Structure formats: C-alpha cells, structure tokens
C-alpha cells in the first residue's frame, strides 16, 4: 500500500503528467499476435513498460469434471505475474489473492463475448502472464487475451479492449502507470465491447463523482477506438 503522506506530485507545472503525456493520452501500445507455436492462439503486448503474454488453448476436455457445464463451455482464466515482473514480491508459488481476483474478473469479461453455447461440456483456457508490470496490467491482460482468442479462432461476438481511467487533483487521466495507480485519487479499470458499447468490467479504487465517472468513461470510449485499431492491425499482420 502506497504511503499517502509522502504522496508525490503527479502533474507537472505545464499540466502534463510525469512521463510527458497529456491527461487523455495512452502509453505507447504495440500488439503482436500468433507468437507461440504450441498454443491455439497467442498474443504479446507492450503497453508502456508493461509486457504481457497471453495464450489460449481449447476447446478441450474439462478437468476437474465437476466444473463441466452440459449446456455451454467454461472459461478457465489464469492471470499470473512473473516473479521478476515488478519490484514487489511475486515469487511465491501459486496465485495470490490479487491474481485470483483478476483471473475471476477477466473470465467474466470473456463469458459475455465468447459464444460458449457452441461447445457444451468443454473448457477454453486463457493464460495471461505478466512479464513486466507498470500499472494497468489487468487492462493490458484483457486486451491481449482478446487478441489471443481471435487468433485461436474461438467464436466471439466482439473484440473487447480494456483501459483504466483515474483522477489526479480533480482532473481525469487515462491509462495510469504504476506511480499514478498508487498515488492518484481514483483508479478505474474498464473493459468495453466496442460493437455495442457495453461495459463488461468496471472496478474502482478511490472516489469519483457522477460527472467524473461519466467523463472518465467518455475518455475511455474515445481512447478505445485507438486500442481497437491496434488490436485489428495485430490480427491482420499475421496474414501479411
């Protein structure tokens, strides 16, 4: 937990953020699809200093069998941070409390877009590995996993993206890095289905007024066009 008493100044005098970005500017984002030979689908993302690898397997047999659903497929999602991914400790074996929570919310995002009823009694496995973290890894993980799912040929109703918005001194900012994540007044990761505009994930840490929430969502939807474009290009590049 960040010590709020020693809160650093997060905005420069010229109104820009510490890394020189505007308030509504994304970090540099690049996605590459089909990077793993043995997975059905995969993608690798570099988003600022975040480095994320996602792989998709299946549809396959459900193990253990009590997870089986006779009407639809089940999504098994595993979000994990590599031991060397950040300054804090991620070295112990097995998922920690945070990883279990992020795996759960990621699974619920894809439950809404993957056509699970096509594959009853099967499982689709999504593995998200954070190789290097710098804030906003759950958003980067969801964005990468969506590309990996499309690369695997799993039928989906939409290609979702995710990005976070936050607040520093009554100003709404987009795509928070680690420092902003720890010391900002609010942090709100959101996952969106761009075709319908449906919000599939909305978590919030901190406080936002109703107006600030709406402004944050508008900023995310605007930035989403750029993210969707990069996701599309990553998928098309596989065939060129």
Partner 1 sequence: MPFVVLHLRHKIIKYKGLIFRVCYYKITTCKDFMNTILIPGDLIETDVARNRNYYFTDGNNSYCTSMCILNNGRLVPLEGLWYPNEGETVVGVVKEVKNSIVEVDLSHFLRAIIIKSPRDRIAFRIGDIIEASVKQVEDKKTIILIFPRLLKSGQLLQVKAVKVPRIIGKNNTMVGQISSFTKSNIIIGYNGLIYIKGGDMALAVSAILKVAAEAHKPGLTESVKKFLERELEVTEK
- Residues near partner 1 (CB under 8 A) are 41, 58-61, 113, 115, 118-122, 150-159, 193-195, 231-232, 235-236, 239
For 20, what's the count of Cα atoms within 13 Å in the CB-facing half-sphere? Answer: 2
- Rounded CA-CA distance 44/188 in Å is 23
Question: CB atoms < 10 A from the CB of 164, how many?
Answer: 27
Tokens of 162: 């995710």
In the complex, the smallest distance separating the C-beta of residue 107 from partner 1, rounded to whole angstroms, is 18
Of residues 159 and 217, the one with the C-beta less far from partner 1: 159
DSSP-based three-state secondary structure for 31? strand
- Rounded CA-CA distance 213/145 in Å is 26
Of residues 113 and 128, the one with the C-beta less far from partner 1: 113
In the complex, the smallest distance separating the C-beta of residue 227 from partner 1, rounded to whole angstroms, is 13
In the complex, the smallest distance separating the C-beta of residue 221 from partner 1, rounded to whole angstroms, is 15
- Give just the sign of the alpha carbon dihedral 186, 184, 224, 73: negative
Of residues 61 and 218, the one with the C-beta less far from partner 1: 61
Of residues 95 and 120, the one with the C-beta less far from partner 1: 120
In the complex, the smallest distance separating the C-beta of residue 36 from partner 1, rounded to whole angstroms, is 14
Of residues 33 and 52, the one with the C-beta less far from partner 1: 33
Question: How many angstroms separate the most distant Cα atoms in the chain?
Answer: 59
- Rounded CA-CA distance 6/78 in Å is 35
Of residues 127 and 228, the one with the C-beta less far from partner 1: 228
- Rounded CA-CA distance 40/124 in Å is 10
- Rounded CA-CA distance 44/133 in Å is 14
In the complex, the smallest distance separating the C-beta of residue 232 from partner 1, rounded to whole angstroms, is 5
In the numeric block, the tokens 């994540």 are attached to 181
In the complex, the smallest distance separating the C-beta of residue 121 from partner 1, rounded to whole angstroms, is 6
């Amino acid at each position: 937990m960040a010590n709020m008493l020693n809160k650093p100044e997060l905005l420069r005098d010229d109104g820009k953020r510490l890394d020189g970005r505007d308030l509504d500017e994304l970090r540099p984002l690049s996605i590459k699809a089909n990077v793993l030979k043995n997975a059905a689908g995969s993608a690798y993302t570099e988003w600022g200093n975040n480095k994320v690898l996602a792989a998709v397997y299946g549809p396959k047999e459900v193990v253990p069998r009590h997870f089986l659903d006779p009407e639809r497929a089940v999504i098994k999602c595993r979000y994990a941070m590599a031991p060397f991914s950040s300054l804090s400790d991620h070295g112990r074996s097995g998922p920690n409390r945070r990883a279990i929570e992020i795996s759960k919310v990621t699974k619920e995002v894809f439950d809404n877009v993957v056509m699970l009823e096509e594959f009853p009694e099967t499982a689709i496995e999504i593995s998200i590995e954070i190789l290097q973290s710098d804030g906003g890894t759950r958003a980067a993980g969801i964005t990468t996993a969506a590309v990996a799912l499309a690369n695997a040929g799993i039928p989906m109703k939409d290609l979702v993206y995710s990005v976070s918005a936050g607040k520093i001194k009554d100003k709404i900012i987009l795509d928070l890095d680690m420092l902003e994540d720890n010391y900002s007044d609010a942090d709100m990761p959101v996952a969106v289905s761009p075709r319908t505009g449906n919000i599939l994930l909305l978590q919030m840490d901190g406080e936002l007024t109703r107006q600030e929430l709406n402004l944050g969502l508008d900023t995310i939807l605007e930035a989403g066009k750029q993210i969707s474009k990069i996701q599309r290009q990553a998928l098309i590049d596989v065939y060129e």
